Amino acid sequence: MTHDPTNWHGTTILTVRKGGRVVIAGDGQVTLGQTVIKANARKVRPLGKGNVIAGFAGATADAMTLFERLEAKLEQYPSQLLRACVELAKDWRMDRYLRRLEAMMIVADASVSLVLTGTGDVLEPEGGMTGIGSGGNYALAAARALIDTDQNAEEIARKSMAIAADICVYTNNNIIVESLDTE
pLDDT for 123 beyond 70: yes
Which residue of the set 6, 11, 60, 149 is catalytic? 11
- pLDDT, residue 10, reads 67
Q: Per the domain annotation, does 155 fall within a domain?
A: yes
Give the single-character DSSP code of 102: -
Helices 136-146 and 153-167: crossing angle in degrees, nearest 10, is 140
Domain membership flag for residue 3: no
The answer to whether 20 and 181 have CB atoms below 8 angstroms apart is: yes
Q: What is the mean pLDDT of the chain?
A: 88
pLDDT, residue 105, reads: 92
C-alpha triplet 49, 17, 175: angle, nearest 5°: 75
Give the whole-angstrom CA distance, residue 121 versus residue 41: 26
pLDDT of the residue at 6: 42
CATH of the domain at 128: 3.60.20.10
Total structural domains within the chain: 1
Residue 4 within any structural domain of the chain: no
pTM of the model: 0.90
Note if 35 is an active site residue: no
Residues 144-169 have pLDDT tens digits of: 999 999 999 999 999 999 999 999 99
Sort 144 into a burial class: Cβ within 10 Å, 0-12 / 13-18 / 19+.
Answer: middle
What's the rounded Cα separation, in Å, for the pair 50 and 181? Answer: 11
On the question of pLDDT at 55 being above 60, the answer is yes
